[in-house]
Amino acid sequence: MTRLPAPRSDLGLREGYHSPQLEVEVRLNTNESPYPPPREWLEAVTEQARDMAFNRYPDRSARALREALAQLHGVGPEQIFAANGSNEVLQCLCLAYGGAGRKAAMWEPTYALHSHIAHLTGTEVVQGARKADFTLDLDACQRLMEREQPSLVFVCSPNNPTGTAEAPSTVSALVEASQGLVVVDEAYGQFASWSALELVGDEVPLVVVRTYSKTWSMAGLRLGYMVGPAKVVETMERVALPYHLDGLKQAAGRLALKFFSQMEDRVSQVVAERERVQTALVKMNQKVWPSQANFVLFRPPTSTGRDVWEALVARSVLVRDTSSWPGLEGCLRVTVGTPDENDRFLAALEEVLR
């Protein structure tokens, strides 16, 4: 008999979120950028680090970082909340607006962490389904919201793992209809043709969540942020731990923005490659959903998905096996890599399908 206490019973047996990593030559399974951030950025961060007073607590309000982000988006610094990855932003949103007796709505298949974090914070998860093209069914969304009255409404656009983006009119209509806070997760925002940032306002129940992990090539930095009403930001500050954002990260995130055009260049390269990969997949008779992100969801027509995934691993190419996820039967998700990596993936797939 163990003397260790039992954890909260409502945690259940949920598996933590993870993507298995294997030793392969071509890693296209976690939607990271294939390119490192600019060397000049690293030099600037190193220089800052030399001058930092590490014996002192960092700026609790992350003022300089928030001012820089506010300038980037043409909003006020009081409309920005930053945290350790956008996942921590989502967690703070659930802590502040979810919790016992409250609900969070989302439409599957979508980013697994939305339901996971809601669940961890004791927020009841209410789920609807997407249309066959994986976009939202506005009428069904409105019915679910009317029936359940969720305090949080999660919209992932472009949606992970499908790559599909919502139309501006859909997001506007959801914000219009919602009694709760609409959270648009734009982890892939810069890859898309449209952003919900243009809808943000101090009296609008909408927040847009962004991350340094994908387009900024800084998944290892763990920095994300939210743009939304100043009142929501104030509330977020009450649930975040004091000094949650360390000083070095604040500086690194602020300095990254000086390399905006390099970020845009990387994004353009990835978008061009995404179009090439999509076209090649269609030519190989794969079912493909049009992506506005840095990955492509596809379904091999005559397989379980899992067997193709295994055959790709045998050729040292790792993609994400989504074939057993509800609503994604037989599907695989491939992250767009460098032109070389994409060539390797396409050649391996061609060989597997033969």
Ligand X SMILES: *Cc1c(COP(=O)(O)O)cnc(C)c1O
In the complex, the residues that contact ligand X under the rule CB under 6 A are 31, 85-87, 111, 156, 160, 185, 187, 211, 213-214, 219, 224
Report d(CA 340, CA 346) in Å as an integer.
10
Q: Choose between 123 and 211: whose C-beta lies nearer to ligand X.
A: 211
Q: Choose between 224 and 300: whose C-beta lies nearer to ligand X.
A: 224
Report d(CA 286, CA 146) in Å as an integer.
38
- Other C-beta atoms closer than 10 Å to the C-beta of 37 total 22
Report, in Å, the least distance between residue 349 CB and ligand X: 23
3-class SS at 105? strand
Q: Mention every residue, 6+ apart, whose C-beta is less than 8 A from residue 46.
A: none
Q: Choose between 218 and 352: whose C-beta lies nearer to ligand X.
A: 218
Report, in Å, the least distance between residue 292 CB and ligand X: 13
Side-chain-facing half-sphere of 174: CA atoms under 13 Å: 32
Report, in Å, the least distance between residue 325 CB and ligand X: 14
Can you say whether the dihedral through the CA atoms of 189, 264, 255, 76 is positive or negative?
Answer: negative
Q: Choose between 154 and 280: whose C-beta lies nearer to ligand X.
A: 154
Report, in Å, the least distance between residue 62 CB and ligand X: 16
Angle at 346 between CA 341 and CA 349, to 5 degrees: 125
Q: Choose between 182 and 280: whose C-beta lies nearer to ligand X.
A: 182
Report, in Å, the least distance between residue 205 CB and ligand X: 20
Report, in Å, the least distance between residue 311 CB and ligand X: 26
Report, in Å, the least distance between residue 16 CB and ligand X: 14
Report, in Å, the least distance between residue 53 CB and ligand X: 27
The secondary structure element, H or E, covering residue 333 is strand 332-335
Report d(CA 21, CA 39) in Å as an integer.
27
Residue nearest to ligand X (CB): 85
* β-sheet bridge partners, residue 333: 297, 320
Report d(CA 59, CA 48) in Å as an integer.
15
Q: Choose between 233 and 293: whose C-beta lies nearer to ligand X.
A: 293
Q: Choose between 159 and 278: whose C-beta lies nearer to ligand X.
A: 159
Q: Choose between 111 and 309: whose C-beta lies nearer to ligand X.
A: 111
- Phi, psi values for residue 183, rounded to 5°: -110, 110
The CA dihedral of 171, 173, 174, 178, to the nearest 10 degrees, is: 140
